[in-house]
Structure 1
Amino acid sequence: MAEIERRRRRPPISCVLCRRRKVRCNRETPCSNCLRSKNASCIYENQFSQSQQESELHSSTPTIAAAAAPSLTSKSSPRAVTAATTSTPASYQSSKDIEFLKDKIKQLEEQLSQSNRTARSPIQTPGSNIEAISSRIGGTFYIHHEDTLAGQPPGISRSVTHKSRMFGQSHWITGMSLVRDILALIEPHIHEEGCRITTLMLKSKSLARSIKAKRNPPWPLPLVTDLPPKDIADELVDRYFQTAETVYRILHIPSFKREYEAHWISPAESNSAFLVQLKLVLAIGATTYDEKFTLRASAMRWVYEAQTWVSEPGFKHRLNIQYLQNNILLLLAREFVDVGPDLVWISAGTLVRIAVYMGLHKDPTRLPKMSTFIAEMRRRLWNTILELSLQLSVISGGPPFISLDMFSTEPPGNFDDEQLTVEDPPPQPESHFTQTSVAIILRKIFPARLAVVKFLNDHGSSGTYKETLQLDSELRASYKSALRILQGYKSATGSRPSEYAMDALNLLMNRYCLSLHIPFFAPAMDEAAYAFSRRVVVETSLKIWRGIFPSPLALSSQSGQSVGSPSQLSLVRLAVCASGFFRISPLQASVLIASELIGQLREEETLGPGLIRQDLLSVVREAKNWAWKCIEAGETSIKGYFLASLHVAHIEGLMQGLEGEELSRYVVREGEKAEEMCLPVLEEMLANGKDEGSTRGLEQNTPSQLVEDWDLTMSGALFDFGEMELVNWGFDENDQELSFG
């Protein structure tokens, strides 16, 4: 019986949309139906117009048909093969369909293969060019590059999306694109049998979650009167006043100390607002108490208690100066002690609104008459709120949401705190250093820094390189003026700014300068036009690192004690024990320096042997040591140490002449060693950290007994200055509004 040849389905000649709707298509491009429905893309499945189809169907030749014959599968019968070689329109169109499907399968196979490697696929959107960088180690980061139509090189990164958050250019994570090469080195080996990087990382993350679960106190945590022994409390208070209060003026020091001493005499008479204030001061001071942050568990409890107190509903009667002070201290404590530090920027917005609601954005001269004490405290607190809002915008990569025209409050006067205890004191001249001078200097350079942060993080920011250089010039000029004032203080007799205040001020300014030029750092590796930014990034990163760690001795000491001045001790301990600004700044600096060294070593391959900067190489090696000390002090994430180890291995491998597969395997081995070192430390943390989250009375223990782990009833005025009411200013005992008398 002769085999009946199966008829092939006629190829579709209607557009995709008409076929789906089952309507007649006029087969034009675009068709009439797509025009009526305003469908911008009228697509034909075979990608040919009708005229092209008719032309090709009539001009098909045996040669073309023969070329399509191998496309048939091996199961085709001789009769089918013979039919395929005939020059008929249907057979030719069938072969084209097969070729189309084969190309589609090939594309899908390539996409599947790429999904197992680090993804770098740009996704075109109307206003940006999004690059996805994915890895089993770091997750997926979407880098929003500058639109190429704006005249910038395609490498300019404007923001980064990770999980549910978006970060502006000032956030350290925008440098994620700088580590793509090292991720590409190790990613192909992660899937190999015997590679333990993923297994060890997952185990460390599981341990970290368990440690944090035991550390976190219960919520809500009511305020209790427990405090550490007085000798420890005294030291913690002193450490707070030697560090945070020298830069951010929040408290009136004589008033606080008077109330502090009264508390130890009659604890029952202290009101809850002061107890919250005291515990927040102790928590901030605990971050520089020792090298291992042995008071971490207590500090976290103090912060949780303060957060519970602040979060109570119906706080209208609390809208006074002390409530504002406690909210500012809570922001600092959360950042320093690692209690949701990455979300503090959100809380800073609430703080700005509280201050505006209380009228702090208006200068006291524009309000009903008040004492010099009250007026200056309002100016100081508004100044501090502006400073913290801007600093947190830099850290979080978020818009500052503040502007110079939203307030009229003048900078604080140049007063020492004791001067405010008398009526109508005259301010000191600018050349005389007071306890408020550093805050005044920060206010002088506030406009230039605000312009930088708006340029980097505001929505739609796409400034040109010319604007970047202009802002750089304004920032430097502003800071030079401030430095002249500081130099005058240092050369004069009498009181002078502390080393810590000077170092912290330099660190702040260098961070703004660094953030301004980082977007052009990666493009500068290929574009000579941005060489200035490359130099600024490298030298500023070195200044930031050496500003905290002047020498390797500041990181490691055989005696186990840090060496250096008291100021340097505080900065090193903040970088090791605290979170937030003082942890992120050296991390960012070390990653940038490592990227520069890798760039230099690659340039050697094309430009010939050169000299590697040993000062930069020492920073990369010190960064690994520093990251290890952070883990010893209770850091639960090992990614910092892991990344530092990969950087050291990558750079040393390149210096040894390793390349290709040999270099990759060397870096992978070093990464595994780093993870293996961290696991025993995390396991010990977990074993020693039992019941921390629910233990009460822990504050009564001495530091040697603490686990070394890590993340208004009083009558009368709080500040006893006669008519100068501070805490209850604005409301009387019956919650009735008072005048500004």
Structure 2
Amino acid sequence: MAETTSATADTTVRAVRRRRRPPRSCVECRRRKVKCDRKEPCRHCLVLNKQCIYSDEASQSEKRAESITAPRLLPSTHFTPRQMSESVTTTRPDPSHFRHLEADRTSTLISPLSTAESQPNEVTGRFPSTAENKERQINALDRRVQTLERALSLSAPGSVAVEKQPSSGPSGAHEARSESSSVSDKSKATLNKSRLFGPTHWTNDLDEFKRVSEFMRVETIDPEDSERIRHLKLKIRDLLQKCKFLAKGIKASRPTRTRCLLSPEPALPEKSLADTMARLYISRFESVFRILHIPSFWSQYEQYWRDPADSGDDVQYTVQLVIAIGFSLYRDSYDSDQVCSAMSQWVYAAQAWLSAPMEKDRLCIRGLQVQCLLILARQSLSVGGDLIWIAMGTLVRTAMQLGLHRDPRQFTKMSLLQAEIRRRLWATVMEMNVQAALDGGMPPNISLHDFDTEPPSNINDVDIDDRTELILETSVIATDTSLQRFLFSALRSRLEILRLMNGISSELTQAEVITLTTDIKNACRECRTHIQVSEYDAEEQVFRHNLADLLLRRFLLSLHRPLANRGRTSPLFYFSRKVVYDSATALLLPPQSEDFTHLVLRGSGIFKNRMIHVSLALASELLIEIEEEEGSPTSILNQPWNYKSMLMAAVQEARRQSAQRMRFGETNVRLHMKLSIVLSQAEDLIPGQSRQEQMIQSAKDSLEMACNTIKAQLSVSSISSLADDEAIRIAGDGQLDFTSPFLDLDDILQTSDFNADGDLFRLF
């Protein structure tokens, strides 16, 4: 009988200790007996406009799982720059606070464990066994250690994360890595087909659009949708495919798609037009990218026009590329298409000349100048400007092979003019290198420890020639080289940003974020003082300032974007959000310059990525503001001009510039569509329309505008050149008919895994 009673008691203990698996679905999905995606809010509650609530038991289970797996990092920023700078000086918490925590830890750990062994089980009335005591002690220790770690992390105002001593073995090493004082996310690297997009590439800034996608995503046509929404979804899918195939027609007519090589000697424009283009290049670009010695170039330029056939290949391509780069600022629409075609052919011819088997005559300073001009021409004229980082590898190695990474003082027999040209070229190569690495999301090809070349001298070009034996340098007056010297001095901070963000083993800490932000901000403020004042052309000064500011400020945008995205979960990231907003608006609306505006609307590479990064940053901030506004007082919402209105105006300007880029030949339609969707989410509801229907309608209107814009650029001959297997045929009414299958709205928004190399679902 005693044995039976004991067996019954053991069975009761096991029955009591067996716990039901905690529910992970929300209350509404459990009631409807549908699968919950466990998001906040979940997909079903979002579509049905229901309140998404998770039970306390489920929430506690989720928090316990997150506390075990997620790294316990403290936000990297505080509310004000002064608070952030003060926090850097304090790297250890107050010792008295540690003693207080130690006393609390001892009292909370010892008393429950000591009493647990002496207390009988409430159900069975018997004392627990030794094995049960050990298991209970381990569970209690684990819970209290986690509580202590969270308290320690919150108690250290100057540290980013709690430093934890790694234990022995693989698990200890893993915990040490997860607890590192890092604010960067090294997992943000996307591999699509043949290309790797690193952390600073714009494809890693699409997280905020996932919430918009969840609101609009429908795997199939939902039977609960109204007939109006069903029709809009089908129309969007057709329009998106139509834009894609029209863009293929434009790309198919480009010279890079032809098998035969272009003529190496395209027709020259009139000399008056060429003179204007060359002067535009010298006055605008040469202040930042010092490639040529201006008096020597004009001498070669006049010689080239007297007898083009007698000039060497390096002189020919130098003159042609200078004219082509100057044409990127040309705003006269008369014969612009024919001139643009000739300029593009010069770019292709220079690329073919440099891509041929290397000869000794190309491994020289003039050959390196052609390479630098080609990099700049490809971006200003949108000729393959999105793959500059690959070409920069060749440019950097060519410069090093020529010895430009060693200061000319090492070569005693070199003239002062040649020494200055080499210093200027090396500074230009390094500037192009950091810009290409930022756009490609890749580490720079070289570090500060790999060269000892000094900055160029602060002199005007007219003050130095082949006969100069002594340079009288001044550091007060702005000269032709002052702006390049200033950018070269700001090279260290930008190289450090690239190393920490795009490197594999490096981690970005809070102190480094503050230091680098301060350096770049100070450089942006001091930029204007290094611009040479012109008495005749104020447009020239504004252009130089805007170009230099673009090369500096966009590093702030890339540095703080990952941190600003966390502003949805914690207000401690407000400083990063403020830096991102200020940088984005400054890049979107720089001081008025018609030449600079024309360049950023038609260029690629640096200029195209500026548009994408700024648009995504402003749209993301607007989405965060929409969510935060829901809990704001009514008095703030009714103000005629508040923060949300400022963001909406900025996003509208970004959408306007995106539409203008399409008129200059841009085939990307998704950026304009996404900005339209975000704006529709921020606008007031139209009577009789739901929020989802309003957002889908805005996407349809955007695609219709983009389709008409691209179709206006596409000739009938371009359409007929498309392949038959692309399923395009011209209908009787002049419209394009497509037989492709339906697309999912999640693919349209491109927030899931996407194919960034192209095909049907290319991003931007």
Regarding TM over 0.5, the answer is: yes
Partner of 1:232: 273
Provide, for residues 579-638 of structure 1, a one-character-per-residue CA deviation record: whole Å limited to 9, x for no partner: 121222133223212221221121121233435323332111112221111111111222
Partner of 1:178: 208
Residue 247 of structure 1 deviates from its aligned partner by 0.8
| CA shift in 2, pair 1:161/1:244, >3 Å | same
Alignment of 1:659-670 (within 5 A): 662-670=690-698
On the 8 A contact 1:361/1:382 being kept in 2, the answer is yes
The one-letter code sitting in structure 1 at the alignment partner of 2:273 is: I
Provide, for residues 29-79 of structure 1, a one-character-per-residue CA deviation record: whole Å limited to 9, x for no partner: xxxxxxxxxxxxxxxxxxxxxxxxxx9xxx99xx9xxxxxxxxxxxxxxxx
On the 8 A contact 2:437/2:443 being kept in 1, the answer is yes
Provide, for residues 326-355 of structure 1, a one-character-per-residue CA deviation record: whole Å limited to 9, x for no partner: 011111111222222221101101111111
Residue 201 of structure 1 deviates from its aligned partner by 0.9
The one-letter code sitting in structure 1 at the alignment partner of 2:694 is: Y
Give the whole-Å Cα distance in 2 for the aligned partners of 1:243 and 1:307: 23
Provide, for residues 177-199 of structure 1, a one-character-per-residue CA deviation record: whole Å limited to 9, x for no partner: 12222223332287464322222
Give the whole-Å Cα distance in 2 for the aligned partners of 1:154 and 1:410: 32
- 1:504 counterpart = 2:529: no
Partner of 2:317: 276
The one-letter code sitting in structure 2 at the alignment partner of 1:250 is: I
Query: Which range moves more in the overlay, 390-399 or 497-506?
Result: 497-506
Provide, for residues 342-384 of structure 1, a one-character-per-residue CA deviation record: whole Å limited to 9, x for no partner: 2110110111111111111111111241111111111110110
Structure 1, unmatched stretches of 5+, are 1-54, 64-105, 119-123, 130-145, 551-563, 694-741
Residue 156 of structure 1 deviates from its aligned partner by 8.3
Residue 426 of structure 1 deviates from its aligned partner by 1.7
Give the whole-Å Cα distance in 2 for the aligned partners of 1:543 and 1:478: 14
Give the whole-Å Cα distance in 2 for the aligned partners of 1:537 and 1:157: 21
- 1:682 counterpart = 2:710: yes
On the 8 A contact 1:627/1:644 being kept in 2, the answer is no
| CA shift in 2, pair 1:308/1:443, >3 Å | same
1:543 corresponds, among 577, 583, 586, to: 586
Residue 241 of structure 1 deviates from its aligned partner by 1.6
| CA shift in 2, pair 1:307/1:191, >3 Å | farther
Partner of 1:316: 360
Partner of 2:616: 591
Partner of 1:673: 701
1:241 corresponds, among 258, 272, 282, to: 282
- 1:334 counterpart = 2:359: no
Partner of 1:517: 560
Partner of 1:288: 329
- 1:530 counterpart = 2:558: no
| CA shift in 2, pair 1:190/1:321, >3 Å | farther
Task: Give the superposed CA RMSD.
Answer: 3.9
Give the whole-Å Cα distance in 1 for the aligned partners of 2:183 and 2:427: 38
| CA shift in 2, pair 1:425/1:414, >3 Å | same
Provide, for residues 368-425 of structure 1, a one-character-per-residue CA deviation record: whole Å limited to 9, x for no partner: 4111111111111011001110111111111013111111111111121122224224
Give the whole-Å Cα distance in 1 for the aligned partners of 2:624 and 2:685: 15
The one-letter code sitting in structure 1 at the alignment partner of 2:652 is: R
- 1:473 counterpart = 2:518: yes
The one-letter code sitting in structure 2 at the alignment partner of 1:683 is: K
2:196 corresponds, among 166, 169, 192, to: 166
Structure 2, unmatched stretches of 5+, are 1-6, 16-32, 48-65, 72-175, 223-229, 722-764
Residue 690 of structure 1 deviates from its aligned partner by 4.6
Partner of 1:651: 682
Give the whole-Å Cα distance in 2 for the aligned partners of 1:574 and 1:493: 22
Give the whole-Å Cα distance in 2 for the aligned partners of 1:260 and 1:154: 49
2:402 corresponds, among 332, 344, 358, to: 358
Alignment of 1:7-46 (within 5 A): none
Q: Which has the larger radius of gyration?
A: 1
Give the whole-Å Cα distance in 1 for the aligned partners of 2:194 and 2:718: 32
2:671 corresponds, among 640, 647, 655, to: 640
Equivalences, count? 551
Three-state SS of the structure 1 residue aligned to 2:196 is strand
The one-letter code sitting in structure 2 at the alignment partner of 1:264 is: W
Three-state SS of the structure 1 residue aligned to 2:218 is helix
- 1:380 counterpart = 2:424: yes
- 1:442 counterpart = 2:487: yes
Partner of 1:629: 660
| CA shift in 2, pair 1:308/1:452, >3 Å | same
Alignment of 1:141-220 (within 5 A): 149-150=179-180, 158-188=188-218, 191=221, 193-194=230-231, 195=233, 196-217=235-256, 218=258, 220=261
Give the whole-Å Cα distance in 1 for the aligned partners of 2:70 and 2:348: 41
1:427 corresponds, among 472, 481, 486, to: 472
On the 8 A contact 1:156/1:519 being kept in 2, the answer is no
Residue 236 of structure 1 deviates from its aligned partner by 1.6
On the 8 A contact 1:214/1:691 being kept in 2, the answer is no
| CA shift in 2, pair 1:494/1:278, >3 Å | closer
Q: How high is the sequence identity, in percent, across the aligned residues?
A: 30
On the 8 A contact 2:347/2:378 being kept in 1, the answer is yes
Partner of 1:577: 602
On the 8 A contact 2:405/2:426 being kept in 1, the answer is yes
| CA shift in 2, pair 1:317/1:484, >3 Å | closer
Partner of 1:137: none
Give the whole-Å Cα distance in 2 for the aligned partners of 1:409 and 1:383: 9
On the 8 A contact 1:273/1:322 being kept in 2, the answer is yes
Residue 251 of structure 1 deviates from its aligned partner by 1.0
The one-letter code sitting in structure 1 at the alignment partner of 2:598 is: R
| CA shift in 2, pair 1:635/1:375, >3 Å | same
Partner of 1:134: none
Give the whole-Å Cα distance in 1 for the aligned partners of 2:396 and 2:454: 16
| CA shift in 2, pair 1:616/1:681, >3 Å | same
Three-state SS of the structure 1 residue aligned to 2:436 is helix
Query: Which range moves more in the overlay, 418-427 or 328-337?
Result: 418-427
